[in-house]
Amino acid sequence: MPELRPDQARRTHDTFRGARPLSAVRPARSLRPVRSVLSLLAFLASLALLVVLPGPAGAATPDTARGKPPTHPERHWLGSTLRSHEKPAAPDGPGPIPPLAAVEGVDVSSHNGNVAWSTLWDSGVRFAYSKATEGTSYTNPYFAQQYNGSYNVGMIRGAYHFAQPASSSGAAQADFFASHGGGWSRDGKTLPGVLDLEWNPDGADCYGMSASQLVGWAKDFFTTYRARTGRDAVLYTSTTWWKQCTGDYAGFGAVNPLWIPRYGASAGELPAGWGFHTIWQYTDTGPVVGDHNRFNGTYSRLQALANG
């Protein structure tokens, strides 16, 4: 057998191992076009946006986790419709307070976030109401901090329900309220629940209901709430709204305590059936939380209301 030259021997060895001859190996392919890389980066960026977009209503957000009001704060709370429908009396703040009606209070909802209860206590606030529910689906995500926080610093506390009469019955909303923070216990520190009936924030002033329909709705709420808790609920309403939407119905005055909002020097005219108010919301621009109130009586009478 003739002797192979070195280059012939190398080709024969590579062929035996199954490798392609070196002369047949192609150069490496070039990198993909820059536009392909940019497309990939754009796709990854879109995935990142999906992660940070807000979730459905009521879901936890970075703001709520840090104790701040949510990015899109609640729009409905005690008296939130008042300024857009009634001209406040001037000046906006209480005039001389009778010495037997000087117990200061506040009301709060989720738009207040976590409340500085110690600061309010040190300023003289002695009672607080927190929004618990609205309609039959909304619960205040800050309710525990607000309701328990006011109690823990020594305040007498209570809960309120923002009514949505057009969405469900008064009985259904009273049940929902009583089951989600609106209950009552004879501990000397818990006030009866409040029904907040005011201007419709989302449509017709009187919710598209007649005076008799609204009165019947409120009766169902009060009856169910009493059956659930053993207490008669407080009614929060303005005289102007009550006259327009219920025809100034006088049938609740003998049973349900009245909480009247009027931003000025006095509580002003009361709805028919009530000879006096129990609580007066006198401003929505007070220190720390905005809404400030006066109980129409001494501290011992406030305790008596809590005790039933």
pLDDT in tens, 109-160: 999 999 999 999 999 999 999 999 999 999 999 999 999 999 999 999 999 9
Which residue ranges form the domains of the chain, and what is each CATH number? 83-307 (3.20.20.80)
Quick check: pTM over 0.85?
Answer: no
Which sequence positions are flagged as catalytic? 107, 196, 198
Over the stretch 224-275, which tens digit does the pLDDT of each residue have? 999 999 999 999 999 999 999 999 999 999 999 999 999 878 888 999 999 9
For the four alpha carbons of 38, 42, 44 and 48, in that order, the dihedral sign comes to positive
Mean pLDDT (whole number) for 152-170:
97
**Residue 91 pLDDT more than 80?**
no
Q: How high is the pLDDT of residue 12? A: 41
Residue 28: band (very low, low, confident or very high) from pLDDT cuts 50, 70, 90: very low
| 1 against 128, higher pLDDT | 128
**pLDDT exceeding 70 applies to what percent of the chain?**
68
**Within 13 Å and on the Cβ side, how many CA atoms surround 203?**
8
